[in-house]
Amino acid sequence: MRKTFYSKIILFGEYSMIFDATALMIPFRKYQGEWRMDPALTSPGAAYSNKSVRKFCQYLQSDAELSSFFDFNRFQADLEAGLYFDANVPTGYGLGSSGTLTAAVFSRYATVTVEEALELKRILGRMESCFHGSSSGIDPLQCYLNQPFRITSQRLTLLPEDFMPTDIHVFLADTGIKSNTKPLVQYFRNKREDPDYLKAFQTDYVPCVSNCIRQLLEGEKTAFFASLRQLTEGQLRFLRPMITDNSIDLFLEKPDFNIGFKISGSGGGGYVLGFTDDVAKATEFMNDYQLIWV
């Protein structure tokens, strides 16, 4: 049976997760990927994907730990037979293009069974490091589980599909710029070496992320939008390179209705993530952007 691996959205927690804060994830089923076979690799997309998956296979074989987790004989035989990953997840948009592939490889070729979610997250993150240099593993974990969840360093809690309050709406605004995750992650890792930055990030930014998640889950709309405004200001302060110049006005403006913005994924391009309780006003306010309502 063919299995589909869907893209993801990190509602909150993309950088603060490193500090054991809570992250909140949802599947985004507008985009997906599936394994397919084409012995002749007739299309350019199939040939390119096959080549990319071969490189990923070689990376997994070269890793001392990961090399023991997979059936590489079957993997390589399938590649020779024309295996490719057919996906429409846009790359550089923070929606998990590498996460879907990582989850798909683990699902199809892993010879180990991992029951504990945080251990699975660790393994998937080690795999996805092939693409970004470093990965928390939450993206491929979401693509693998295909269900909303809240996660901390100690626990993963699966959430129902309808956990969102009905009067809070989520949308994506296209910046028109592709993001490159690796240098942004490296920038953040370098900034963490500054003790003043590190202390301020932990004391000022991380609690704001936790507040947004808690208030969203509990349906505290007024408090949520107030915390989201603080989070927006925190991203301007701590994560400015992750905000594109052509979208910074969204982070600076203060409309007279409930709407708030944050980076999506690693930032630096792709989509800006927005929340509002008034779809009509938000659509008018965002008339210069191509929107996708989640």
- Rounded Cα distance, 192 and 244, in Å: 21
- Rounded Cα distance, 117 and 129, in Å: 18
Q: Where are the domains of the chain?
A: 5-158, 169-293
Which residue in 243, 242, 232 sits closest to 209, CA to CA?
A: 232
Cα-Cα-Cα-Cα dihedral of 254, 172, 95, 43, to 10°? -140
Paired with 150 in beta bridges are: 24, 157
Q: What is the pLDDT of residue 2?
A: 65
Burial 169-179 (b: 16+ CB within 10 A, else e): bbbbbbbeeeb
In the chain, which stretches have pLDDT less than 70?
1-2, 18-20
- Rounded Cα distance, 32 and 7, in Å: 6
SS3 141: helix
Q: What is the pLDDT of residue 270?
A: 87
Give the length of the chain: 294
Asked whether this chain's domains 5-158 and 169-293 adopt the same fold, the reply is no
Q: What is the pLDDT of residue 14?
A: 85
Q: What is the pLDDT of residue 1?
A: 45
Q: What is the pLDDT of residue 19?
A: 65
Q: What is the CATH number of domain 169-293?
A: 3.30.70.890
Q: What is the pLDDT of residue 214?
A: 95
Model's pTM, two decimal places? Answer: 0.89
Cα-Cα-Cα-Cα dihedral of 139, 144, 147, 148, to 10°? -20
Q: What is the pLDDT of residue 136?
A: 81
Q: What is the CATH number of domain 5-158?
A: 3.30.230.10
- Rounded Cα distance, 208 and 72, in Å: 44
